[in-house]
Each structure stands twice: as C-alpha cells, then as structure tokens.
Amino acid sequence: MPILIEKLEYAYSGGAESTPALAGIDLAIGDGEFVGIIGPTGSGKSTLVQHLNGLLRPDRGRVLVDGVDLADRHADLRAIRQKVGLVFQYPEHQLFEETVLEDVAFGPRNLAIPPDIVQERVVRALITVGLDPAEIGPRSPFALSGGQMRRVALAGVLAMEPQVLVLDEPAAGLDPRGRRDILGHIQRLRAERGITVVLVSHNMEEVARLTDRLVVLNAGRVVLEGPTREVFGQSDLLRQNGLGVPSITRLAAELRRRGMKVPADVVTVEEAAGAILRLWSSPSGQARAHA
C-alpha cells in the first residue's frame, strides 16, 4: 500500500484569507515505514493527513494510495478507508454509539466479518489501549474522562486492523503510561505485521523515539525531510520553523558547548545517560569536567 503524493494543493473555502493550507506537497511513503510529521500550529499537518483516506480531496495534484487516485470520482473510498485507518486530532468526535463496546465494534462490523471475530477484535483493541472491556465496555462513551474517550476512539480504529495507520496527535490528553504503552504497541504492530504508520505529533521526544523518517511542514510546504536523527541534528533550522528539539537533545547541545563531547544526535534519556557515563569514566572526561 505505498502512498504517493504529488504537487498536492488544498485551500479551505470560505476562509477570508486565501492562503492555501497546502501549497504543493510532494511526498512518498513506502510500505512498513514509520513516518513522523511535525510542524508548527497551522502548518497543514492535519489537512495533509486527511487526504490520505479521501476525507479531503485535492484542489490540485494527486494522492495515490496503492495506485488508486483518490481524486478520481470513481475511486472506491470505502475500500480505501478500510485499509487506511485515521485517528483524528479530536477523536471524541468519532464516538457516537450507546456503549463503548458498540462503538469499537462499529467499524469491524462494516467489514462483513463474522460476529465472533468482531467481538474478539473489540476486546483485543480495548485491552491494547489500556481499558478493561468488562468494566468500561458497557458504559456510555460520553460518561468517560477525556483520556478514556480518546482511548476508545483509538480502539475503534485499531479494531479495523488497517494496513496504514494514520495518527493525528493520538496521545494528546493521554497520561504518560498510556502514551508510552499505546505507541509502543503500535510500534510492535508495525514490526509484526509490517503496517505503515504515519504519526503527527508535537511531542518531540516521542517522534524521536519512534519514527524512522521525519517530514517537517511549514506554511503548507515540506521544508525539511530526512532520517529522524539527521533532522533533529539541525536544531537551528527546526527553531527557525517554530519547532523545538527534545529537552535531551537541548541538554546534549549545551554540554557540547561547555566542552563535554556528547554526540549531537542523542534523543532519548537512555542514550544520553550512556554517552555521559562513558565520557565520565574515560580519564579525559573527568579531568576536563573538574578542570
């Protein structure tokens, strides 16, 4: 299910300002990739990902999913949406059934698979997002906490078992363990089943930890793209585009400035700890720090 985006342009109609949300995007996403999309507010991230399953149609340019042009009037969008699962930025808007169980079952039920398999998938998806099916399942999705609602919406998409999973800020409002567990699970799904994952996130730590490749958007254009580490190595360019770097990367840069030779591309706590401890135990490292 490769995805190919060519010269994609899109403007929201009715806006007083005629600045387009997307101003010519070219992007290819291969099977099994884990791609991160970052960019400041209003840079076009959500607009872009809504083109990936035909929720929005290009004004100009093309979006090809598995060779199917989504702008084509005859394209089977239903089939595409079964393969490309999209979790919205405000997933609580995706909830509508009377109970959590019904809500999560809605998608797979439309796939014409046997009811017992649907049931199985629903239970598995709820457990994946850290909700107890017996406790939360019978409750109304609207009588839940914000983070619980978000988890239900995520479970609904996971239960569809899509080949491409598109997540628009999926972890906003999740507690730290929820964030880590759910994204960790998605990473495993990708390793085990080779699904493609596109993650839009403001959380630089998370993007750094999970993705192979990063696409940086600003004002509707791709301004920077490449392997995740290389992109985070360019902190000045990121800052110019209104983005930060993980606090660990900032720490590494600060230590380097003071003469401690920590690699510039460390992004996680473990990497930084490893690098600092190695330097510290090397005689020159200690001598320098105490000088």
Binding positions for ligand ATP, rule: CB under 6 A? 143-148, 175
Max CA pair span of the chain: 72
Written as one string, the DSSP assignment of 228-265 is: HHHHHH-HHHHHHTT----HHHHHHHHHHHTT----TT
98 touches another protein by CB under 8 A: no
In the complex with another protein, the residue whose CB is nearer, 112 or 143, is: 143
In the complex with another protein, the residue whose CB is nearer, 139 or 190, is: 139
Stretch binding another protein (CB under 8 A), from 53-61, 100-108, 198-206, 228-236: 198-206
Encode 71-119 in three state secondary structure.
CCCCCCHHHHHHHEEEECCCHHHHCCCCCHHHHHHHHHHCCCCCHHHHH
Q: Which of 15, 115, 138, 146 binds Mg ion (CB under 5 A)?
A: 146
In the list Mg ion, ligand ATP, another protein, none, the entry touching 81 (Cβ below 5 to 8 angstroms by class) is none
**First-to-last C-alpha distance (Å) of the chain:** 57
Q: Which two tokens stand for residue 146?
A: 């914000």
In the list ligand ATP, another protein, Mg ion, none, the entry touching 287 (Cβ below 5 to 8 angstroms by class) is none
Closest distance of CB 81 from another protein, Å: 25
CA dihedral sign of residues 40, 42, 45, 48: negative
Residues near another protein, by CB under 8 A: 16-17, 40-42, 89-90, 143-148, 151, 169, 172-180, 202, 204-205, 242-244, 246-248, 250-251, 254-255, 258-260, 269, 272-273, 276-277, 280, 289-290
